[in-house]
């Protein structure tokens, strides 16, 4: 898996670069997002059936760990238990 350390990387690009989704799947989701800008790309991918919620959570854990991105954007769609689980796993990896 080609993990990137670019803090500016977007979630969708990260998913494509790490072969979690295809470029075509991302492009389709981005097209939908143009008409629904309040929806997050991960939410759209799950709704489309491209990823399961569990796959998305694991991918976001990887994305946050690799990019050191802020968690703020994640809790807009995931419930608090899922956000807490991600944060807990990230803290464990820092030890």
Q: Domains of the chain: which residue ranges?
A: 11-94
8 A C-beta contact, residue 69 and residue 42: no
Q: Which residue has the tokens 């769609």?
A: 77
- State the chain's maximal CA–CA distance in angstroms: 42
The backbone torsions φ and ψ at residue 34, rounded to the nearest 5 degrees and listed phi first, read: -60, -35
Q: Is the predicted pLDDT of residue 11 greater than 70, yes or no?
A: yes
Note the pLDDT of residue 54.
Answer: 87
Do you know the residue count of the chain? Answer: 95
pLDDT, tens digit, for every residue of 13-69? Answer: 999 999 999 999 999 999 999 999 888 888 899 999 999 988 988 888 888 778 776
pLDDT digits (tens, 9 = 90+) for 32-48: 999 998 888 888 999 99
Give the CA radius of gyration of the chain.
Answer: 13
Quote the tokens at residue 42. 């991960």
């Amino acid at each position: 898996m080609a993990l990137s350390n670019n803090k500016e990387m977007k979630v969708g690009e990260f998913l494509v670069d790490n072969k979690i989704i295809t470029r075509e799947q991302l492009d389709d989701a981005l097209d939908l997002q143009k008409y629904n800008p309040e929806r997050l790309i991960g939410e759209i991918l799950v709704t489309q059936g491209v990823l399961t919620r569990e796959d998305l959570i694991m991918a976001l854990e990887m994305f946050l760990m690799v990019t050191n991105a802020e968690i703020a954007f994640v809790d807009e769609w995931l419930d608090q238990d899922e956000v807490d689980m991600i944060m807990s796993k990230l803290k464990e990896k820092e030890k």
